[in-house]
């Protein structure tokens, strides 16, 4: 029987009973660029760190195991992962993309990938008819679910069937729920992307990115690409992520508990006009996320009544940090309009629902009473104005 995910975040079963690395429980940081060869034609299994490094390999095995892939690739950031993945395509290829994506991904597609003559169609994958968008040159579908920041939920299994029927590569950016709550490969996706900077690393201290696949051909192409382009994660950063991922489960559970309480609290604030959190039964994606995931996560977005109040919330938080990024132990609040989604054209932004009144919270693992007290203090300042 497969071991539970908390165990797999910490231990590699294949290493057990071997007393490797002098028995060190913390996997060593192999801080080396190159490796000595015992003789001509023989190798220790490692030749040069751009190709592979033992610390990186250990991390990749853990990530492949918790995401249910045949292999994983550790890259220098989430964007490096998506950039490498784009090398699977060639000029003239068309990719169907979720419209409400992480802003950095949209920036990459529109400003870098397009110059390679890739074509993108942005649609709402939770509502629009994907099949209608498929053309002769369509090669892939790229989604996030829940989306960033509007928290729309798409049906991974349903999209996987469409992708299979048309021979398309189905890619899911699984950053928001992490492998702890959702495993898209098991639902039929071909490739999973992670910003390892977020929940997997979990401490807001290291950039990292992952590609995980269960497709043999994609795996071979990616091994060649990582060796050739050189964006593999540095050994010391691999070690930081190895340490962070050990507590993925307890962090996800605790931050989700906090998020559910905050979502319900926000709903009752007079300055809050709408809360987008897929763990609220009134959220349109509630039933679907319950079916395809094991949790709702700890990201939530809300509207306040006017822009002035949105800015006042940001100006007055103290315990909660006004900072971009997400998925760490610290609770962060962001203003998507000027931060994560600043490069998304205004009309697209507004169509997706990202208004000047939109705030996004990444709920951390602090004590819930302190987080609610902080929000209560900030919201009461809005009344005084
Ligand atoms: C942050 C993020 C990325 C980019 O990852 P970096 O590690 O910051 O390069 C990609 N997708 C999503 C959903 C993200 O939140």
In a shared domain, residues 178 and 82: yes
Indicate the residue among 222, 245, 268 that finishes a domain: 245
In a shared domain, residues 145 and 267: no
CATH of the domain at 282: 3.90.1150.10
Contact 140, 171 (CB under 8 A): yes
Tell the residue number behind the tokens 């045949």, with chain if given: 70
In a shared domain, residues 63 and 197: yes
Residues 142 and 356: their CA atoms lie apart, in Å, by: 27
Q: In this predicted structure, what is the pLDDT of residue 385?
A: 66
Q: In this predicted structure, what is the pLDDT of residue 343?
A: 80
- Any ligand 1 atom below 6 A from CB of 79: yes
| 223-260 pLDDT per residue, tens | 999 999 999 999 999 999 999 999 999 999 999 999 99
Name the DSSP letter for residue 231.
-
In a shared domain, residues 83 and 155: yes
Residues 207 and 195: their CA atoms lie apart, in Å, by: 8
Print the domain residue range for 157: 5-245
- Any ligand 1 atom below 6 A from CB of 145: no
- Any ligand 1 atom below 6 A from CB of 209: yes
- Any ligand 1 atom below 6 A from CB of 190: no
Residue 306 preceded by cis peptide, ω within 30? no
Total of domains in the chain = 2
Residue of 147, 148, 184, 195 to test ligand 1 pocket, by largest number of atoms within 8 Å of CB: 195
Of residues 245, 226, 206, 207, the one with CA closest to residue 65: 245
| 23-37 pLDDT per residue, tens | 999 999 999 999 999
Say what percent of the chain tops pLDDT 90: 92
In a shared domain, residues 74 and 114: yes
Q: What is the pTM of this model?
A: 0.96
CATH of the domain at 208: 3.40.640.10
Positions marked catalytic: 50, 102, 173, 198
Average pLDDT over the chain, rounded to whole?
96
Indicate the residue among 182, 215, 245 that finishes a domain: 245
- How many alpha carbons lie under 13 Å from residue 202 in its C-beta half-sphere? 26
Residues 325 and 328: their CA atoms lie apart, in Å, by: 8
Q: In this predicted structure, what is the pLDDT of residue 299?
A: 98
Q: In this predicted structure, what is the pLDDT of residue 277?
A: 98
| 323-347 pLDDT per residue, tens | 999 999 999 999 999 887 888 888 8
User: Over 70: is that where the pLDDT of 348 sits?
Assistant: yes
> Where does 20-118 show beta strands of DSSP type E?
71-75, 94-98
């Amino acid at each position: 029987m497969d071991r539970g995910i908390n165990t797999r975040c910490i231990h590699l079963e294949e290493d057990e009973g071997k007393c490797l690395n002098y028995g060190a429980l913390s996997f060593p940081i192999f801080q080396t660029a190159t490796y000595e060869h015992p003789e001509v034609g023989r190798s220790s299994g490692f030749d040069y760190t751009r190709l592979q490094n033992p610390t990186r390999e250990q991390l990749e095995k853990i990530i492949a195991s918790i995401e249910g892939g045949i292999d994983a690739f550790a890259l220098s950031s989430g964007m490096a992962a998506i950039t490498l993945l784009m090398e699977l395509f060639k000029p003239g290829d068309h990719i169907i993309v979720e419209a409400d994506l992480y802003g950095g991904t949209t920036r990459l597609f529109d400003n870098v990938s397009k110059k390679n003559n890739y074509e993108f169609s942005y649609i709402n994958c939770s509502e629009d008819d994907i099949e209608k968008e498929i053309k002769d040159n369509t090669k892939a579908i790229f989604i996030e679910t829940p989306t960033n920041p509007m928290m729309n939920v798409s049906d991974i299994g349903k999209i996987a069937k469409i992708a299979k029927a048309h021979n398309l590569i189905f890619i899911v950016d699984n950053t928001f729920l992490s492998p702890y709550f959702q495993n898209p490969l098991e639902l039929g996706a071909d490739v999973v992307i992670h910003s390892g900077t977020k929940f997997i690393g979990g401490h807001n201290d290291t950039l990292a990115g992952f590609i995980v696949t269960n497709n043999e051909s994609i795996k071979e192409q990616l091994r060649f690409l990582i060796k050739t382009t050189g964006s593999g994660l540095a050994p010391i950063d691999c070690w930081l992520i190895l340490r962070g991922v050990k507590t993925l489960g307890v962090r996800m559970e605790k931050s989700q508990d906090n998020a559910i309480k905050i979502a319900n609290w926000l709903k009752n604030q007079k300055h809050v006009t709408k809360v987008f959190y897929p763990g609220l039964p009134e959220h349109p994606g509630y039933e679907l996320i319950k079916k395809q995931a094991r949790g709702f996560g700890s990201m939530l977005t809300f509207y306040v009544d006017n822009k002035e109040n949105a800015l006042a919330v940001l100006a007055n938080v103290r315990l909660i940090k006004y900072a971009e990024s997400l998925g760490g132990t610290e609770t962060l609040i962001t203003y998507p309009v000027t931060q994560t989604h600043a490069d998304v054209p205004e009309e697209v932004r507004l169509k997706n629902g990202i208004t000047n009144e939109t705030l996004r919270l990444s709920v951390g693992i602090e004590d819930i009473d302190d987080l609610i007290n902080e929000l209560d203090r900030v919201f009461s300042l809005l009344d005084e104005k």
